[in-house]
């Protein structure tokens, strides 16, 4: 699996993985700032962005993708940062290959199981007849009938691309993602906890990491700390980039 990526900076390697329906483009501004201190690789996971599509879509496959990526780029070990689905990918990777993870940062996700609240997002995207529209604003009007939040619509619309001069398409492999949601939202576990330094960053207004999730986090990641960004939702890195950057770099720089 050849993954699309962007590389900037020099220093210790830092690999960033986006969440469900995301892509490396969501991290461009932050990765450029992080590249002032680290060698930053921002990656499109399979079935997302400009990376290849594949009918297999689960964490074992995405862990294999990350391992292959590190081997291809001769990265012996790295700092890993993942948001949402990307956070679960890097958590599973830390269980499977702890020797390749120097520090771990997980943005607004826990190892617990979640419900399939994203079903309606996929259904809304798949219901749009893209052949009828010639602009993103037209697609936005269609989605507005099903998704009221402008922020979520704009996030999803970043998946639009021009297949040719006259037809739009979705970058995300919606059919495979829809079939794989139970796998994407399942709980993670390991017989051996990951004992290296780990940071969980949560949004104050998000329900993805609540106090209910903390005991399991501490069980699987005993050397972890949890930081909360005030007045931030699940998309905390986009809403509060300065706070996110400060917390992340402080953690990575501390011995």
Q: Which residues are catalytic?
A: 84, 175, 234
Q: Which of 148, 91, 124 minimizes the C-alpha distance to 21?
A: 124
Length of the chain: 255
Identify the CA nearest to 201 among candidates 19, 57, 60, 40. Answer: 19
Strands 198-203 and 39-43: unpaired
* Cβ proximity of 92 and 184 under 8 Å: no
Q: In Å, what is the CA distance from 102 to each residue of 76, 80, 86?
A: 10, 8, 17
Tell me how far apart the 2 most distant CA atoms of the chain are, in Å: 55
- Which stretches does DSSP call E strand in the chain? 5-8, 13-17, 39-43, 78-83, 101-107, 160-162, 168-170, 198-203, 224-229
The DSSP call for residue 4 is P
3 state SS of 253? helix
């Amino acid at each position: 699996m050849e993954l699309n990526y962007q590389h900037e900076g020099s220093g210790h390697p830092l690999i960033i993985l986006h969440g469900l329906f995301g892509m490396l483009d969501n991290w461009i501004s932050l990765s450029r700032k992080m590249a002032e201190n680290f060698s930053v690789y921002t990656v499109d996971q399979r079935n997302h962005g400009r990376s290849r599509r594949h009918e297999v879509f689960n964490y074992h496959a995405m862990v294999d993708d990350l391992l292959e990526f590190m081997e291809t780029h001769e990265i012996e070990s790295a700092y890993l940062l993942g948001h949402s689905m990307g956070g679960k990918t890097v958590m599973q990777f830390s269980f499977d290959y702890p020797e390749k993870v120097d520090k771990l940062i997980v943005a607004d996700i826990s190892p617990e199981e979640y419900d399939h609240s994203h079903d309606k997002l996929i259904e809304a995207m798949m219901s749009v007849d893209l052949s009828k529209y010639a602009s993103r604003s037209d697609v936005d009007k269609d989605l507005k009938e099903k998704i009221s939040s402008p922020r979520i619509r704009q996030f999803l619309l970043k998946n639009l691309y021009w297949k040719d001069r006259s037809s739009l398409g979705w970058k995300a492999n919606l059919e495979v993602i829809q079939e794989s949601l139970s796998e994407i939202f399942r709980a993670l576990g390991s017989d051996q906890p990951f004992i290296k330094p780990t940071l969980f960053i949560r949004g104050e207004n998000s329900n993805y990491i609540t106090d209910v999730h903390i005991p399991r986090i501490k069980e699987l990641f005993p050397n972890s700390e949890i930081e909360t960004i005030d007045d931030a939702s699940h998309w905390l890195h986009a809403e509060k980039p300065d706070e996110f950057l400060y917390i992340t770099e402080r953690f990575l720089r501390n011995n």
